[in-house]
Amino acid sequence: MYPYSIHLYWLPVKNNFAIESGTLHLIPKKLYMKIGNSVRVKKGIMSPDYNNLNISGWEGRVIEIEDQIITIELDSITLTNLSKEYIMDSLINDFEYTSICLELNEIEITQPRDTQKETNLKQKEIDARYSYDAEKNRIEEILQSDDCSVSQSNLKKYFDYLKLKLQKPCILTGSEDFDWEEPYLLGGWSKKEYAKLKLTQPSYTDKFEFVDFVKDISDWKGIFIKVIRISDKKHFELPLWDLKVIDENSPNFLIISDYSSWMTNYQ
């Protein structure tokens, strides 16, 4: 049996030996951490930055060790499974979505499931998809202009583009609460009345199937679409600005995400 103590995880390690106060300790490989190790987040661990985000099973490579704090570069598979909201919030708040810092006792060594090259390629792919510059370039290309203001002429250009590019089937949900819901969700209005109204009114929690575009364009709300609520087949006309595509891997996801960002940031 090897003579070791559990605290030897974070002692300086060289050639499978740890040095403490001049004493050389032989330790099993599975117990020490070094740069380049592939690691997995243990079950039940929550994100240090987002209280309600369970990050169990996230994997990556160790890129920095400072005392008991380990910086992990997320692998390509974990990056692929990150939500758009997580990536965008990280970019907005100047967090590194590509890495995460955890305590030593929150992770375990595992075998790599991709290569560093695959991780680098996935990072470039996400940057190209979500970075502000890349998004702005896509919008300018759609409008065929560096004037990206939300105007009637640009709305017409975007309308024509969306009619050409949006593919069926396209399943959507609310990107945030709809206007009529705000008094009930934020203003303390009757929860009972809210539940009753949701039977006949569209809610941001519903799932909708895209049917067609509404011909008229609103100066304020922009482009509207016709949808069917999946749960009860009720028909509604909703502003596309208020919706998002559920399947983040669908080509429709980025198309509508860019449109919503344009409506939000260029009014």
Pairing of strands 107-109, 222-229: unpaired
Please report the DSSP string for 125-147 in residue order: HHHHHHSHHHHHHHHHHHHTSS-
Q: Is 202 helix (H, G, I), strand (E, B) or coil?
A: coil
Read off φ and ψ for residue 63, nearest 5 degrees.
-120, -10
Residue type, 202: P
- 133 vs 202 pLDDT, higher one: 202
Whose tokens are 């011909």? That residue is: 215
pLDDT tens column, 198-252: 999 999 999 999 999 999 999 999 999 999 999 999 999 999 999 999 998 899 9
Using one digit for the tens of pLDDT, what is the confidence trace for 31-75? Answer: 578 999 999 999 999 999 888 899 999 999 999 999 889 999 999
CATH topology (fold) of 33-129: SH3 type barrels. (2.30.30)
Question: Which residues in the chain are classed under CATH 2.30.30.30?
Answer: 33-129
Beta carbons of 155 and 217 less than 8 angstroms apart: yes
Q: In this predicted structure, what is the pLDDT of residue 95?
A: 85
What's the DSSP call for residue 65?
A: E
